[in-house]
């Protein structure tokens, strides 16, 4: 049934009136279009953007800043003509998985009348009646992309920078500040406050901080967060006084840019703890940090909460190393033989892994430079994951290590930081310099035992299947 011209005009007038209400009331817009009731901190954020041209938002996790950012993008497109919204970030994958995914989810919640106004693709949102003058996109913020960032101009020129801590200063000073010369330019920075230097930090602490409107969010700003949730985060991040807890929960800048990874007190408390007894039902895991030629190779044997052996091999080639590990395997009582020998297989280590596997030993190829196998939102690489899980092993207590000077020194030497909220263990080259040229082989070998761990951490591997050797090892029993 067709509607009359008068009815159509009335509908258009009602929509114009509604859009006018939306223009002045972002929480009303969020509730009406998406059914989203913004929380108090989200309301503070969107109002700061509505009323000011320079906005800097620092915050932890878990209270919905990505959702509020997506609301602002859609609000900008709904209530402004001649508007360009650009979302910058240091990592294209994070932009796609984060803010763009949230924009797509909100699009799906619109009434069909509103959805028909827009064309949404994997990289752009455009108003169908003005696709060249009303649209939103995202772009990588890097030193190589400064010229493109500098060329953005529009009457309503709204720029958001997600994970702003990771964006080079030149992008801000040489490009993005230029958007504020447009008639209605806005620059909004959003980030976990993970660094004590750089442009984002200066918007809160430097000479320019007085010209920025500030919004600070904490995890506790979400009403669903409980005391148990905070305690869980404290355990995850190593305590309430740690750098990462301060960043991710309190939404505060750290006191410095590095923390010691494994506290000395936790390592010293574990030395020669006689009352520690491994669970008999838990399998033994070995970690092998191989070297070829003149460098040392290290093998660490862990049974649940206890290191039960450490071996060092000097001056062996990769075949000789594999044979020595095989000899130790055969000399081990059957009940204490490892169910997995985790081998650092980067570079020359791959040869050791191949030789061990060929001999029929339960070797597991570990590529520490690869992506993490657990909690990808927390770790940058597998190396960061296994070092952090080793840290948790010590901090949780009830563990035992021998009084081994090199191992202890190597465990307490590394620092860590967090870039965009992800843990990053200090580079090995830097650790080696502070160890006077020595590589942290003993500590690395221990950390390898956490690469697959049925003892304390959930694993992606089917251990029951994995623990069955590929060859008959009964000759050793």
What is the pLDDT confidence band of residue 281, given thresholds at 50, 70 and 90?
Answer: confident
Round to whole Å and give the CA distance between 410 and 415: 11
Q: How confident is the model over 5-15, as a mean pLDDT?
A: 75
Helix (H, G, I), strand (E, B) or coil at 316: coil
Least confident range of 86-90, 165-169, 308-312, 462-466: 462-466
Q: How confident is the model over 257-281, as a mean pLDDT?
A: 85
pLDDT value for 399: 95
Q: Is the pLDDT of residue 238 over 80?
A: no
**H or E element in which residue 106 lies:** helix 101-109
pLDDT value for 169: 92
pLDDT value for 476: 25
pLDDT value for 236: 80
Q: Is the pLDDT of residue 289 over 70?
A: yes
pLDDT value for 460: 35
**Can you list the domains of the chain with their CATH numbers?**
5-248 (3.40.50.300), 260-476 (3.30.420.240)
Q: Output the DSSP codes for 404-453.
A: -HHHHHHHHS-EEEEETTEEEEPPHHHHHHHTTT---HHHHHHHHTTSS-
What is the pLDDT confidence band of residue 63, given thresholds at 50, 70 and 90?
Answer: confident
Least confident range of 80-89, 246-255, 282-291, 326-335: 246-255
Beta bridge partners of 260: 415
What is the pLDDT confidence band of residue 147, given thresholds at 50, 70 and 90?
Answer: confident
**How many CB atoms are located within 10 Å of the residue 231 CB?**
11
pLDDT value for 261: 87
pLDDT value for 461: 36
Q: How confident is the model over 162-171, as a mean pLDDT?
A: 92
Q: Is the pLDDT of residue 16 over 90?
A: no
Distant-in-sequence, close-in-space partners of 351: CB < 8 Å, separation ≥ 6? 290, 292, 318, 319
Q: Please indicate whether residue 150 or residue 110 has the higher confidence score (pLDDT).
A: 110
Least confident range of 97-101, 114-118, 145-149, 346-350: 145-149
| pLDDT, tens digit, 9 for 90 and up, residues 299-333 | 999 999 999 999 999 989 999 999 999 999 999 99
> Considering the chain, what is the average pLDDT of its residues?
88
Q: Is the pLDDT of residue 128 over 60?
A: yes
pLDDT value for 3: 65
| pLDDT, tens digit, 9 for 90 and up, residues 347-370 | 989 999 999 999 999 999 999 999
Round to whole Å and give the CA distance between 138 and 82: 17
Tokens of 240: 């309430």
pLDDT value for 419: 66
Q: Is the pLDDT of residue 395 over 90?
A: no
pLDDT value for 243: 80
Rg of the chain on CA atoms, in Å: 28
pLDDT value for 433: 87
pLDDT value for 472: 37
């Amino acid at each position: 049934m067709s509607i009359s011209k008068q009815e159509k005009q009335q509908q258009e007038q009602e929509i114009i009136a509604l859009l006018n209400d939306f223009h002045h009331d972002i929480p009303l817009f969020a509730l009406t279009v998406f059914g989203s009731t913004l929380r108090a901190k989200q309301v503070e954020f969107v109002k700061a953007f509505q009323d000011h041209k320079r906005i800097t938002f620092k915050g932890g996790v878990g209270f919905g800043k990505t959702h509020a950012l997506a609301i602002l993008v859609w609000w900008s497109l709904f209530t402004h003509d001649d508007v360009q919204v650009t979302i910058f970030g240091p990592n294209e994958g994070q932009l796609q998985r984060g803010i763009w995914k949230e924009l797509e989810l909100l699009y799906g919640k619109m009434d069909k009348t509103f959805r028909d106004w827009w064309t949404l693709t994997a990289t752009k949102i455009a108003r169908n009646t003005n696709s060249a003058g009303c649209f939103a996109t995202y772009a990588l913020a890097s030193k190589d992309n400064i010229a493109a960032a500098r060329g953005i101009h529009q009457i309503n020129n709204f720029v958001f920078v997600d994970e702003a801590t990771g964006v080079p200063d030149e992008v801000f000073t040489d490009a993005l500040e230029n958007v504020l010369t447009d008639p209605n330019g806005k620059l909004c920075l959003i980030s976990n406050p993970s660094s004590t230097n750089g442009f984002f930090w200066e918007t809160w602490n430097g000479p320019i901080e007085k010209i920025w409107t500030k919004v600070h969010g904490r995890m506790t700003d979400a009403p669903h967060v409980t005391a148990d949730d905070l305690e869980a985060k404290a355990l995850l991040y190593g305590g309430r006084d740690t750098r990462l807890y301060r960043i991710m929960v309190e939404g505060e800048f750290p006191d410095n840019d590095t923390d010691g990874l494994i506290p000395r007190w936790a390592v010293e408390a574990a030395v020669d703890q006689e009352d520690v007894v491994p669970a008999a039902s838990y399998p033994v895991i070995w970690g092998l940090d191989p070297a070829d030629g003149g460098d040392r190779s290290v093998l660490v044997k862990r049974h649940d909460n206890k290191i039960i052996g450490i071996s060092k091999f000097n001056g062996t080639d990769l075949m000789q190393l594999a044979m020595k590990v095989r000899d130790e395997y055969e000399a081990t009582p059957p009940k204490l033989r490892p169910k997995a020998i985790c081998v650092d297989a980067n570079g020359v280590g791959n040869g050791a892994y191949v030789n061990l596997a060929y001999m029929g030993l339960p070797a597991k190829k570990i590529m520490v430079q690869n992506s993490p196998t657990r909690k990808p939102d927390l770790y940058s690489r597998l190396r960061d994951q296994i070092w952090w899980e080793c840290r948790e092993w010590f901090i949780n207590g009830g563990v035992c290590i021998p009084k081994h000077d090199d191992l202890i020194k190597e465990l307490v030497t590394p620092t860590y930081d967090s870039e965009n909220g992800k843990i990053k263990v200090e580079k090995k080259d830097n650790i080696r310099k502070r160890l006077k040229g020595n590589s942290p082989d003993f500590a690395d070998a221990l950390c390898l035992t956490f690469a697959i761990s049925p003892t304390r951490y959930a694993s992606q591997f089917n251990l029951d299947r994995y623990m069955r050797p590929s060859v008959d090892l009964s000759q050793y029993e």
